[in-house]
Structure formats: structure tokens, C-alpha cells
Structure 1
Amino acid sequence: MKLIAAQIRPVPGDCEANIAKHMAAIRQAANLGANLVLFPELSLTGYEPRLADALAMDVSDGRLDEFQQLSDRYGMLIAVGAPTQGREGIEISMISFQPGQPRTCYSKQILHADELPFFAAGSRKLVLNHADVILAPAICYESLQPSHAEEAAQSGAQVYLASVAKSERGTTLAKAHYPMIAEKHSMTVVMANCVGAADDYVAAGCSAIWNNRGEMLCSADTVQEALVAYDTRTGETAVFNLL
């Protein structure tokens, strides 16, 4: 399976511009033979908690139909980030598109204290099965909680999909934590981070992939939009500038 973390610079609050940016990244990833493309936390809107109420979308939103079309065309699992309207409030969600299947939605279950004024926690566990590989979604703060990775491993996950919006401090914590859980649970870890403005900080990129022995295989830098790629069959790795 060829895994790609898409490191993008979202335009704060501009869904249409961000969808176009996603489309370009997906097409480039398809040309590279990707089976999966993972985008950062809240990638469709940018990580902007104060705007989430106005920007929240339904999973069935017609603007997302293009993602399903590309998933069907390329046989690819595409996972994007968006605020969605949940039962108890706005949730931080990962919406996934798989060829020939209904789209699915996983919402962040463990929120950071700073997010509590703006978001409600999700409650539904989810694993994805694509190309006979089991993948577990994880969204930023919760992906640094050992219990979350433990549950993913118990669900049979072989790949841990960490969709994040992390500052420099956050990426430092991630680089220490992800190799440990990768080795402990024998899971490949894919981290897709953004770059540029995010709420009241600057997202620090460094999107990366660790193999199931906890070895970092490849990483983007802190400022450039990029595609970080790992082929689990051949062991080939590469980082491509986003065109």
C-alpha cells in the first residue's frame, strides 16, 4: 500500500479554496500511485475554532461529492478534516472516502482543554479497511494519548492515521510519541500536519511516516506544502513538493 500524508497550507475559513487545494494534491498523489491520502486536522477550513460554528458542514454536503468521484476514479482512500454538526455540538471530524462505498465520519473523541469552548467530543469508534489493510483514524491531541493507540491496536489496526494541526512544540511531542506507539503496537504511523497560520499559532509541518518498528522513514520540512510518501510493499519513501 502506498501511503501519502498531504502537508498543505489551508486558507483560513475558505472551504472552496481549500477544496481546490485538496483536489490538486489528490491528483498529484494519484499520479504517484497512492492508495491513501491523509490530510491535516480541519483541512477543509483550516484549524480555526472560532470559525467552526459558521463553517460546520454535514457529511452529506454536496461540496464533498468531488472527493468521492476522485476516490472512485483512482481507487484511493481519501481522508479530509472538517468541522461537522454533531448531536451535542460541533465536532472535529475526519471524513473518509473509499471507492464504491458510502463516506464515513470519525470525530475526535479526546479534546484538548482549549477546544472545549468550541467543540463537542465524538463518541463513535471507527476503523477503516482498504486494500485489505486496517487503518485507525486519530485526530491531533488524542493521537498523543496512549489509550487511544491501545484501542486502535485492539481493533486490529495496522496503520494509525494521525491527522493533526500542530505547532513546533506539538511536532516535538509527536516525534517522541509516535515511534513508541508504532513499535509497541507494530503499527505504521502516518502524520499529516499543516503549515502556516492556525488559530493563534503557526503550524509547523514536519509531516512524517514511521514504520511498524518505530523508525521514521521520511518527513517534510516546517514550511513547504508537500506530499510525504511510503510504499509498504517496496519500502520506498519520498517527499514531493506540492505542485
Structure 2
Amino acid sequence: MSDLTIAAAQSVSVNGDLGANIARHCGFIRQAAEQGVELLVFPELSLTGYEGALAAGLAIDPQDAVLQPLRDLAREMKVTAAVGMPIRLQPHGPVLIGALVMGADGSLGVYSKQHLHTGEDRYFAPGQGGSALTIGGETVALAVCADFTHASHAAAARRLGAQCYAAGVLISEKGYGPDSTLLQGYAREHGMTVLMANHGGETGGWQSAGRSAIWAADGALVVAAPGAGDCLVVARRRAGAWQGQVTAVSEV
């Protein structure tokens, strides 16, 4: 079992302000690089906030030059970062909830949310998922929020060989108990490391619970943020044993 360092970027989005959020994401990526993070996962729609009514106007082609600073920084810092963004895969196509993977090698991967929450279909269409990632020899499957509420999604990831299941989410305090229990259960049931990156504050009228977390493949909690706010939730595996750390991110 190889050494691995992964992290959840628990970020507070500036709702509707792509430029400000890109700058904030760059701060997270730099701090993650300082800690040796190989995979950094941001919350659902982290670059715009969870703003369904604004999504059509904010949605971009994943190759849009506006994201080039993030791609360049990820390559420079050698951090693979999965960021949340409303996207269109064709110029006049439907708006999808995307997780865009800025590769440490300069590549760009696209994951689109497959399962929508009730009411999200007013603004978004269901997507088709995306390919797994390879991070430090580990196969990582992505999920975006409601995807993980379908047990078949995590099961399919494991059948395809995933050793890590990484979800960018928006979970309120009310939903945190059942949702975190579900994710912890996937870790235990499927023998996968599970990472949950939650928003750090209010977005789209929802107050996020924060408390981003990472569970080991036996279901044991490695690390969790104590509450809301900007922070990095880092898990390091060395010689098969996990250690966790939560670091405040104050200058982003």
C-alpha cells in the first residue's frame, strides 16, 4: 500500500463571483501544496456557490480560458484539484453540475453529476459521471452530492476498482447525520477510503454544516473539521496507517 496524502478543501464560496472564488481556490491549492497534498477536492459548485438561479448565466465550457489560472497553478504546485462549476458540454447544451479535475500533469478531467436533488431539475440536467482518477497509484472515483445518496453509485465505483471515493457536497446540519453515516458505511462496506468535502458557510440560501471528513477503508474516521469555516482537512497514509490534520485557511 503506497503512501498517499489527500484533502478536502472546506471553502466558503462568494456566491455568483467566479473571479473571487478562483482567487480563493488558488489560496487553497497553494496551502495544500505546502502540506504535500496530492488530491484536493472542493465542494459542489464551489467556484460559483450553490446558485441554481444564476447557473445558466455562469455555466462555461470546461475548456474556457477563465479557468486557466487554476490549471496552471495545479500543474505548478503538482496538486490535482477537483473544483465545482456549472458547465455546458455543447454551446447550447443543458447546464450540468460539474466537478472539473485540474490535473497535476496539466490535464483536464470532467465529471458531471448524475443524480439530482429534488428541485435541481429547474436549473440543471443530469450528467453522465466521468472517468476515475489515478492518484499516487490509487484509483479514485468522484461523486457530487446527491450521487452518493444512491447506493448503486458507490457500489459501481468499487466494481470498477476504486480504492477511494471522493465527494464534493453541500450538506446542512439537518442532513449531516444521515449523510455522514451513509458515507462512512460505504467505506466499511466497500473497503474504500471515503472523502467528503463540504461547503464552509452559507450558499444558495443553505447554511452548510461544514465538518468535512475522511474515513479509512474500514470505516474508521481519520479526520473531520470541527464545524464550518474555511479549512483544509488533510489525511496522510504512511506505511499503511492514516493520520489526520485540520488546518485553518485564513488568507485566501
TM-score bin (small chain): over 0.9
CA pair 151-196 structure 1, distance change in 2 beyond 3 A: same
1:177-192 → structure 2 map (5 Å cutoff): 177-192=182-197
CA distance in 2, matches of 1:196, 1:75: 28
Which moved further from structure 2: 115-124 or 206-215?
115-124
Instruction: Give the C-alpha shift of residue 185 in structure 1.
Output: 0.7
Structure 1 unmatched runs, 5+: none
- Mapping of residues 3-18 of structure 1, within 5 Å: 3-18=6-21
Question: What amino acid maps onto 2:10 in structure 1?
Answer: Q
State whether structure 2 residue 52 is matched by structure 1 residue 24. Answer: no
Deviation digits for residues 116-137 of structure 1, max 9, x if unmatched? 1110011244211122111001
Aligned mates of 1:14, 1:101 — CA distance in 2: 25
Q: TM-score under structure 1 normalisation?
A: 0.96
Identify if the C-alpha distance between structure 1 residues 124 and 6 changes in structure 2 by more than 3 Å, giving closer, same or farther: closer
TM-score by length of 2: 0.93
Q: Using the alignment, how far apart are the partners of 1:33 and 1:129 within structure 2? A: 17
Instruction: Give the secondary-structure state (helix, strand or coil) at the position aligned to 2:84.
Output: strand
Residue equivalent to 2:243: 236
Q: Is 1:61 aligned to 2:68, yes or no?
A: no
Q: Is the 8 A contact 2:113 2:129 kept in 1?
A: no
2:74 matched residue in structure 1: 71
Q: Name the structure 1 match of 2:140.
A: 135
Give the deviation of 1:174 after TM superposition. 1.8
Taking the aligned partners of 1:30 and 1:86, their CA distance within structure 2 comes to: 30
CA shift, 1:200, in A, is 2.4
Structure 1 residue 198, shift from structure 2 partner: 1.8
SS across alignment from 1:150:
helix
Q: Which residue of 2 aligns with 1:176?
A: 181
1:118 aligned residue (103, 123, 137): 123
Instruction: Find the aligned partners of 1:121 and 1:29 in 2 and give their Cα distance.
Output: 31
Q: 2:207 aligns with which of 178, 199, 202?
A: 202
Given that 2:86 and 2:95 are in contact with CA atoms closer than 8 Å, whether structure 1 keeps it comes out as yes
Distance in 2 between residues matched to 1:77 and 1:206, nearest whole Å: 22
Structure-2 separation of matches of 1:99 and 1:168: 33
The separation in 1 between residues aligned to 2:25 and 2:106, in whole angstroms, is 20
